[in-house]
Structure 1
Amino acid sequence: MAKHRIVTTDAEIDRAIARAESLEGELRVTAVEYRPSPGLDLLILKLSDGHRLLIPREDLEGLQSATRDQIARVEILGDGTGLHWPSLDLDYYVPNLLRGVYGTKRWMAQIGRSGGSVTSKAKKRASRANGLKGGRPRKVVAAS
Structure 2
Amino acid sequence: MAEFEFSDAEREAATRRAKAEAAGRPTPKSVRYDRPSGRILVEFENGSAFMVPARSLQGLEEASDDDLAEVELLGTTGLHWEKLDVDFTIPGLMAGIFGTARYMQQKGGRSRSPAKAAAARENGKKGGRPRKVSDKAR
TM-score, length of structure 1 as denominator length: 0.67
Structure 1 unaligned regions, length at least 5: 118-122, 124-130
Residues 11 and 91 of structure 1: CA distance in aligned 2, closer, same or farther (over 3 Å): farther
Matches within 5 A, 1:76-91: 76-78=73-75, 80-91=76-87
- Please, which of 97, 103, 106 is the counterpart of residue 110 of structure 1? 106
* Count of aligned positions: 121
The answer to whether the 8 A contact 1:28-1:94 is kept is: no
Q: Which amino acid aligns with 2:78?
A: G
Deviation, 1:62, is: 1.1
Q: Residues of 2 paired with 1:116 and 1:57: CA distance?
A: 25
Instruction: For 2:31 and 2:47, locate their aligned partners in 1 and report how far apart those are by CA, in whole Å.
Output: 13
Superposed, 1:47-126 pairs within 5 Å as 47-78=44-75, 80-113=76-109
Shift of 1:72: 0.4
In the superposition, relative to structure 1, how do residues 65 and 11 fare at CA in structure 2: closer, same or farther (>3 Å)?
A: farther
RMSD: 3.1
Paired AA for residue 31 in structure 1:
S
For 1:10 and 1:62, how far apart are their aligned partners in 2? 39
Paired residue for 1:28? 27
Counting aligned pairs with the same residue, the percent is 32
TM-score normalised to the size of structure 2? 0.70
Deviation of 1:112 after TM superposition, in Å, equals 2.3
Question: Is this contact kept in 1: 2:32–2:72, CA < 8 A?
Answer: no
Distance verdict in 2 for CA 1:61–1:11, change over 3 Å = farther
